[in-house]
Amino acid sequence: MSDFFIEEIVRLLGYQFFQYALIGGALVALTCAVVGLLIVLRKESMIGDSVAHTAFGGIAVGILLGVEPILTALVFAVFSVLLIAYMRTRGLAHSDAAMAVMLAAGFSLGLIVVSAAGGFTVDLFSYLFGSILTIDTNELVVTAILAMISLTIMGIFYKELLSITFDEQAARLNGIPVTSLAVAFNVLVAVTIVISIKVVGIILVAALLVLPGLSALQLNQSFRKTLLASIFLALLTTTLGIFISALFDVAASGIIVFTGVGVFLLAVAYGRLGR
C-alpha cells in the first residue's frame, strides 16, 4: 500500500499541472499566513468573507467582458476594503456592519451579472469553490507577482504594521503614518484574498486566511515563533490538501480547509495541555 502511494506521488510530481498547483498553493499559503496573522490580531477575521464575496462581482464582470477575472476581482476587492475602512473611520458603520454591506453589494451584483449572462459557467464555479489543480501559466504568473509584491511590502513595514495593530495611539505618537499604513494593509488584504480564491474558492477563502494564524496563536509562543508556526501550518495544510485531492479525486479546497480545522483543534488541545 505504501509503495503504491509513493509511486502515485512520484507520478504526480512529474506533471506540470501538479507542479503549478504546488507552487501556486505555496505562494498563497505563505501570503495568507503572514497577512492573516495580523488580521486575526486586529480582530477583523470576517473581512476575508466580505471581500471575497465582493470579489465575486468582479469575477462575474470579468468573465462577462472577457477580461482576466483575477484582475477585475482585484479592482472590486481593493474598492471594497477601502470603502469598509472609509465607513468605519467616518463613523458611518461599525466594521462588521460595513463588511456585511460590501458582502451583500458585491455578491448581489455578481448574481445579477450571472443571471443576465445566462447562468453559471464552469469558470465561475471554479472561482466559487476553488480549482487549484487547474491553475494555468497566466494565473500562476499573476499569483506569483501579486504574492511577491504583498510579501515584500509586508517585510518592509512589518514592525510598523505590528505597532498600529497592538497600540495605534502609541504608533501615532512615535511618528508612524498610521492612516497611510492602514490603507496599504487593507490593499494587501484585498490582494491576498484575490490570489487565494483560485486555491479554495470564494466560499472558503476566509478560512484559509484565518486558520493558520489562529492555530499558531494557540501555541502560546513569542510573536516571531507564532509567525513561523503560522507559515509552517499554512504550507502544511495547503500541500497536504493538494496531494490528497489529487490522490483521492476530491475537492482540494474542502480538504485544505478541513485539514486546517483539524490542525486548529489539535493546536487548541496542545495549548490547553501546555498551560
**How many angstroms separate the CA atoms of 194 and 212, rounded?**
18
User: What is the tens place of the pLDDT at every residue in 79-113?
Assistant: 998 898 888 888 888 888 888 888 888 889 888 88
**How many angstroms separate the CA atoms of 150 and 147, rounded?**
5
Q: For residue 34, what are the contacts with CB-CB under 8 A and spacing of at least 6?
A: 151, 154, 227, 230, 231
Taking 90 as the threshold, does the pLDDT of residue 135 lie above it?
no
- Percent share of the chain, pLDDT over 90: 20
Q: What is the mean pLDDT of residues 67-87?
A: 88
Q: Identify the pLDDT of residue 235.
A: 94
Q: For residue 125, what are the contacts with CB-CB under 8 A and spacing of at least 6?
A: none
| Closest by CA position to 46, among listed 182, 209, 264 | 209
Report yes or no: 128 and 76 within 8 Å, Cβ to Cβ: no
Taking 90 as the threshold, does the pLDDT of residue 232 lie above it?
yes
Q: Which three cell numbers stand for residue 42?
A: 486586529
Q: What is the mean pLDDT of residues 227-238?
A: 93
Q: For residue 250, what are the contacts with CB-CB under 8 A and spacing of at least 6?
A: 244
Taking 90 as the threshold, does the pLDDT of residue 264 lie above it?
yes
**How many angstroms separate the CA atoms of 226 and 247, rounded?**
31
Taking 70 as the threshold, does the pLDDT of residue 120 lie above it?
no
Torsion 146-41-59-23 (CA) sign:
positive
Taking 70 as the threshold, does the pLDDT of residue 193 lie above it?
yes
Domain boundaries defined on the chain: 1-274
Q: Identify the pLDDT of residue 121.
A: 63
Taking 60 as the threshold, does the pLDDT of residue 146 lie above it?
yes
User: What is the tens place of the pLDDT at every residue in 47-66?
Assistant: 888 888 889 888 888 888 88
Report yes or no: 51 and 101 within 8 Å, Cβ to Cβ: no
Q: Where are the alpha helices (DSSP H) in the chain?
A: 2-13, 16-41, 47-65, 69-89, 95-116, 122-129, 137-166, 168-173, 178-217, 223-248, 252-273
- Top-confidence range, 18-22, 119-123, 157-161: 18-22
Task: Give the fold, CATH level 3, of 1-274.
Answer: ABC transporter involved in vitamin B12 uptake, BtuC (1.10.3470)
Structure confidence at residue 274 as a pLDDT band (50, 70, 90): low
**How many angstroms separate the CA atoms of 91 and 81, rounded?**
15
**How many angstroms separate the CA atoms of 201 and 86, rounded?**
27
Which comes out higher in pLDDT, residue 41 or 6? Answer: 41
Q: Which three cell numbers stand for residue 255?
A: 480538504
Q: Identify the pLDDT of residue 234.
A: 93
Q: Identify the pLDDT of residue 12.
A: 83
